[in-house]
Amino acid sequence: MAEIVDSVWSQRDTSPGAIEAALRGLVIEHTRAHAGTMPARALNLVSVVDARWRGEIANRLGMVGRLAPSRNVVCKVEPGRETLDARATVSGLEGGREGLATLRETVVVSVGERHLEHLDTIVDPLVVTDVATVVWSPHGHPEAVDALLALSQSVLLDSRDEPDPVDALARVGRLAQDTYVVDLSWLRGTPWRERVAAAFDPAARRAELATLDRVTVRHRADSCVAALLLAGWLAARLGWRVSKLTRRDDGLAGRVRSRRGEVAVRLEPEPDMTAPGLCGVALHSASGAGVALRRGVGGLEMTRTDRDGHERTWTVLGASRGEPGILGEGLRQALLRDGTFDPALAAARGMVA
Amino acid sequence: MGLTEPAGVGGNPLTEGLERLPVHPTTLVIFGATGDLARRKLLPALYNLAHEGALPERFHLVGSSRSELRDEDFRERAAAGVREFSRREVDETVLDALLASARYVSGDLDDDGLYGRVGEVLDAYDADADEPLHRCFYLATAPALFPVVVEALGARGLDACENAQVRVVIEKPFGADLQEARELNARVLGVFDEQQVFRIDHYLGKETVQNVLAFRFANGMFEPLWNRNYIDHVEITAAEDLGIGSRAGYYDAAGALRDLIQNHMLQLLTLLCMEPPTSFSADAVRDEKVKVLRAIAAPPPQEAVRAQYTPGAVSGEPVPGYLQEDGVPDGSTTETYAALRLQVDNWRWAGVPILLRTGKRLARKVTEIAVTLKPVPHLAFDSAGSVGPQPNQLVLTVQPNEGVTLKLAAKIPGSRMRIRPVNMEFLYGTAFLSQSPEAYERLILDAMRGDATLFTRNDEVEAQWRICDPVLRAWCDSSEPPAGYAAGSQGPAQADALIDGAWRAI
């Protein structure tokens, strides 16, 4: 039976150099003591979290399973703190399935607000060199993110955390100029994008893309950005000219211009939806044909409507990833590059600007 | 923002940037659906594809075999197999949805009526979708039935479908010798076009096997060394610590050469030795692989070793020899170990021995490719008092502990210039976040998509048999029994004669 073994170090009023030396020592000590263990080297995750929510963030990261970062540098922000405290932990499974276990390293550094502007000088010695570094600051602290941009390769964020979608998209847009952004709100739309793409993939159906005249995206009330990004993706991929959507009922609505005419776009909040993200997408063409996807049991429920109004409904298979799955996917995506995000973001911003 | 021209993969502007490209709606028919392969590999692979949302938007499963089962019985058996063998925890809602429309058609595979009933099920799915779905027939049956099923499909007109693609996936072994492979190819290609045929070698679906191509063709540092000027020899090993278990019937008829060398190991060899393809398209890759196989002559008798394990010890416990295993015929001469010394007679590889060995009940389970470079021409250091430098060795481990190791010489800390070998290691498990999919997941999806890059072409199969056939015939005609090696050992001493120096320790 595999057993988790931890090696721990902690120090009050410490320095980045001392923490780095301690981490190095812990890894050597751990690999010597437990043969067959190797440090994981997929990515560094630097998270900046409010001290009072530290436990919640640790729980979220603990649930992402195999997708956990290799080295997790947690900057715990405590109001008024003047000095640095740190606790480093090296964990590994002893006697893994194949006789090999990977080590994961976590260092929690307690910092004060005054440290945030130059947080890079604290974090830089703590990340593994030549391994991709991802920054995640779920409780705001934009000054910390700005400070860390130079040493990171990507920033993980969730636009849903920002109450106003316009501000959220503007923030992502600014960051995207300097680094690669992975927005969890974009990732919540991945299965929807894949299924919409598949629905129009058969050559006979592809022509319908040019004649789309109605698009409706339904979303949880706090996930308007996810809906905007999906609409933005369609606009960017299909070459639509976007214009500002206006408030209608609780949602947003307006018209964008395709090569053949106008497309009515509606983003509708769904009050009964429990999980963050999207709950439905419907695309219809002038002929009356269309497809609609909505959350179902065991996958997405797809309804295809023919020109004559005939409808067929079936389940497109797929498991819900849940929020831990989305976060894990965010970490994985931080090591990839999705060239369709920036154009989708630009189009989404065009629909609220 | 202006109007722009849509762009995308294959003319669909929405597919650009997607990690998972759409697969056309498909019905998959598994012949042999109640067998071990289906239960342990195929059905769990389908479930995992469903879980990830990777199956086509419309997907139907049809199981067929001789057992008399109702649809509900098949669904229950399939679900039980998935729960037992899936690589991830099962989401029952997805499993239910996957199997909800699954149908089962029972019958003898040589009964023409079976195919009529299968055709009716396929037509019903098409009618329900109001469009013809692609059809993929997976032959997970006994090899003797491959041509029977293929010809019956043809006789019923199931080899083609208007406005839809029809594909057939054929499991290994593809023939038991060159003659059988040729006959099977002729019968299969008498019904289907080569583009419709997907001959599985599941090794090619393994991430680490595909990584051989990435390793060679995406890294500039190795290509200048990848030839006879720098490479001394290559060892490809597929060792198992287990015996034959309950597979005596199959194994005694096959033996180690047919079981692993003729297919998996020669495939590894081709990936290691092929020239860079002009593209990663199916035929460009397979053209290059075939060129390698055609450059290999069958080894002379003295460069092929066969052996059988004798009683020994594994994990500290005594274990029987092959002839003492349940179900093995008395006096069987089937080899449980085979080793070949091959040469690839082309400009790049001429004179470089390529050594292949595989066996049951060896010291350890490992599949690897070890490339040993020639030693440096002159060494300025005195190696007294140390192991001294050894030739650089690059080891690509396919399983377990998937990764790449480069053996280098390094100075031992101290006042003297003493050298010993050290390892630079890359391990998949430490460098990537995501779990590798099972080989069958990748291959089933590729077959449904019509991408044959990771499948074996007809000329490839025959070229593989052309290398192995003379060895098998010589062993069959020989009056000498196979050599022996103790279970749990490194293999027979006779294999040492194949290599200049010593084999890498298993």
Residue of A nearest to B431 (CA): A42
- In chain A, the domains with their CATH numbers are 4-152 (no CATH), 190-352 (3.30.360.10)
ipTM of the complex: 0.91
Question: Regarding beta strands A71-77 and A44-50, do their DSSP bridges make them parallel or antiparallel, or are they unpaired?
Answer: parallel
pLDDT in tens, A309-349: 999 999 999 999 899 899 999 999 999 999 999 999 999 99
DSSP-derived pairing of the beta strands A37-39 and A246-248: unpaired
What does the alpha-carbon distance between residue B426 and residue A337 come to, in Å, rounded to a whole number? 23
Partnered with residue A316 across adjacent β-strands are: A300
Q: What is the mean pLDDT of chain B?
A: 93
Cα–Cα dist A288/A281, whole Å: 16
At residue A3 the predicted structure's pLDDT band, cuts being 50, 70 and 90, is: low
Distances (CA, A) of B117 to B64, B123, B130, B139, B165: 10, 10, 20, 17, 20
Report how far Cα B472 is from the mean position of its chain's Cα atoms: 21
Chain B interface mutation, best of A245, A317, A340, A352, highest count of B Cβ atoms under 10 Å:
A317
Residue B355 in contact with residue B506, Cβ under 8 Å?
A: no
In this complex, is the C-beta atom of B430 within 8 Å of any C-beta atom belonging to chain A? yes
Alpha helices in chain A (DSSP H): 16-33, 54-62, 119-123, 142-148, 165-178, 184-187, 190-199, 203-206, 224-238, 322-333, 341-350
β pairing state of A212-219 and A246-248: unpaired
How many beta carbons lie within 10 A of that of residue B151, not counting itself? 17
Tell me B296's DSSP state: B
Contacts of A342 in chain B (CB under 8 A): none
**pLDDT tens by residue, B325-374:** 999 999 999 999 999 999 999 999 999 999 999 999 999 999 999 999 99
Mean pLDDT of chain A: 92
* Euclidean distance between CA atoms A316 and B137, whole angstroms: 21
Distance between CA atoms of A116 and A353, rounded to whole angstroms? 31
| Contact between residue B154 and residue B174 where contact means Cβ atoms under 8 Å apart | no
A210, pLDDT greater than 50 = yes
- Judged on CB neighbours under 10 Å (0-12, 13-18, 19+), B482 is buried
Chain A touched by B435 (CB under 8 Å): yes
Give the model confidence (pLDDT) of A68-127 as tens digits.
788 999 999 999 999 999 999 998 765 444 556 788 899 999 999 999 999 999 999 999
CA distance B105 to B152: 15
Question: Which own/partner contact pairs does B346-352 have at CB distance under 8 Å and 24+ positions apart?
Answer: B346/B291, B346/B292, B346/B295, B348/B226, B348/B227, B348/B228, B348/B273, B348/B275, B349/B227, B349/B228, B349/B273, B349/B295, B350/B228, B351/B228, B352/B228, B352/B231, B352/B232, B352/B233, B352/B234
The pLDDT assigned to B75 comes to: 98
To which H or E segment does residue A314 belong?
strand A311-317
**Which regions of A96-136 does DSSP assign to beta strands (E)?**
101-111, 133-136
Residue B9 has pLDDT above 70, yes or no: no
User: Which of B12, B25, B97 comes nearest A299 by C-beta?
Assistant: B97
Q: Can you tell me which residue has the tokens 């029987």?
A: B320
Q: What is the pLDDT of residues A135-148, one digit of tens each?
A: 999 999 999 999 99
Q: Which amino acid is at B438?
A: E
Tracing tokens 């990977």 back to the chain, one arrives at A102
How many angstroms separate the CA atoms of B68 and B50, rounded? 27
| pLDDT tens, position by position, B452-480 | 999 999 999 999 999 999 999 999 999 89
pLDDT of B89 strictly over 60:
yes
Q: Are A208 and A289 within 8 A, CB to CB?
A: yes
With contacts defined as CB-CB under 8 Å, which chain B residues touch A195?
53, 57
Q: Which residues of B are catalytic?
A: 264
Longest dimension (CA), chain A: 74
Q: Where are the alpha helices (DSSP H) in B52-111?
A: 71-85, 92-100
Option in B1, B57, B400 nearest A241 (CB): B1
- pLDDT (0 to 100) of residue A4: 67
Residue A1 has a pLDDT of: 41
Res. A59 pLDDT band, cuts 50 70 90: confident
Burial degree of B365 (CB within 10 A; 0-12, 13-18, 19+): middle
pLDDT at B1: 42
User: Residue B2 has what pLDDT?
Assistant: 44
Residues 32-61 of B with CB under 8 A from A: 50-53, 55-59
Please enumerate in sequence order all residues whose Cβ is within 8 A of that of A309, keeping only pairs 6 or more positions apart, or say none.
A288
Of the candidates B70, B83, B104, B81, which has an alpha carbon nearest to the alpha carbon of residue B35?
B81
Contact A200 B14 (CB under 8 A): yes
Please determine, for residue B268, whether its predicted confidence score (pLDDT) is greater than 50: yes
Q: pLDDT tens digits for A238-272?
A: 999 999 999 998 899 999 999 989 999 999 999 98
Q: Phi then psi for B108, rounded to 5 degrees?
A: -75, 140
| Residue A193 to residue B18, Cβ atoms within 8 A | yes
Angle of the B282-294 helix axis to the B266-273 helix axis, nearest 10: 100
